[in-house]
């Protein structure tokens, strides 16, 4: 199994999931700036969309899109409880969270990464993101993790996008519950392992 990733990008989410699942994999650096692999291979030839993450299975099958990838990873290691069983209401709750993180937070951060985006537009994005974190602050109250008592792949995804806040000047100091959750997830050995592996290739 291969994970195509770029340091600090949303591919950190499946990187965390793979470590949490204890699945052997090869991490393949695919720069989102040059769109080249370390050996010079054109990444567009592997993924025509050009972005990460991309998971290559042992039979060569390619799986795109972070929320789909992390659920696949979770289902390969069911005893790790990274995702509820398929067909249960809890699984749909997980998908609800992954969709919220992807559409309301991940895509909310996207304009802040774009140097061509006007500052007025970035201000609108920051205001919207703050409203989403206000909601999240209430949702996480009394919980250890997004889904309750157990870490899930939704925590890895939310950790990944929330990690962008400081660099993009989104002040989350007013959300102590979110920050405590972020510290709790960030201290997990699997999360530390993924962060260490990515920082070594920055």
Look up the pTM and report it: 0.96
Task: For the chain, give the percent of residues with pLDDT over 90.
Answer: 96
Tell me if 90 sits within 8 A of 84, measured CB to CB.
yes
**Average pLDDT score over residue span 50-78:** 98
Could you check whether the bond before residue 53 is cis, i.e. omega within 30 degrees of 0?
Answer: yes
DSSP SS3 for 75: helix
Taking only the tens place, the pLDDT of each residue in 13-51 is 999 999 999 999 999 999 988 999 999 999 999 999 999
Q: Which residues of 37-68 are buried (b: 16+ CB within 10 A; e: fewer)?
A: beeeeebeebbeeebbbbbbeeeeeebebbbe
Distance of CA 129 to the CA centre of its chain: 16
Domains in the chain and their CATH numbers?
A: 2-81+190-199 (3.40.30.10), 89-188 (1.20.1050.10)
Residue 200 has pLDDT above 80, yes or no: no
Q: Is the model more confident about 8 or about 176? A: 176
Taking only the tens place, the pLDDT of each residue in 122-133 is 999 999 999 999
pLDDT value for 202: 59
φ/ψ region of 167 (left if φ > 0, alpha if ψ in -120 to 50, else beta) reads alpha
Give all strands of the β-sheet with 62-64 in edge-to-edge order.
26-29, 2-5, 54-56, 62-64
Taking only the tens place, the pLDDT of each residue in 95-151 is 999 999 999 999 999 999 999 999 999 999 999 999 999 999 999 999 999 999 999
Cβ atoms within 10 Å of 145's Cβ, excluding its own: 16
**Average pLDDT score over residue span 164-193:** 97
How do beta strands 26-29 and 62-64 pair? unpaired
């Amino acid at each position: 199994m291969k994970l195509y990733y770029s340091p600090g990008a949303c591919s950190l989410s499946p990187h965390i999931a793979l470590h949490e699942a204890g699945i052997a994999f090869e991490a393949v650096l695919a720069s989102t700036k040059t769109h080249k692999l370390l050996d010079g291979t054109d990444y567009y030839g592997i993924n025509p969309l050009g972005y990460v993450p991309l998971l290559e299975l042992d039979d060569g099958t390619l799986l795109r899109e972070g929320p789909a990838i992390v659920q696949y990873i979770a289902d390969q290691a069911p005893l790790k409880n990274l995702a509820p069983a398929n067909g249960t209401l809890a699984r749909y709750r997980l998908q609800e969270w992954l969709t919220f993180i992807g559409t309301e937070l991940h895509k909310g951060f996207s304009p802040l990464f774009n140097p061509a985006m006007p500052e007025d537009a970035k201000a609108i994005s920051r205001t919207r993101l703050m409203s989403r974190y206000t909601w999240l602050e209430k949702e996480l109250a009394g919980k250890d993790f997004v889904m309750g008592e157990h870490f899930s792949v939704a925590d890895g995804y939310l950790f990944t996008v929330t990690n962008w806040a400081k660099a993009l000047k989104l002040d989350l100091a007013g959300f102590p519950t979110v920050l405590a959750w972020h510290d709790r997830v960030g201290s997990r050995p699997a999360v530390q392992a993924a962060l260490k592996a990515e920082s070594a290739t920055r």
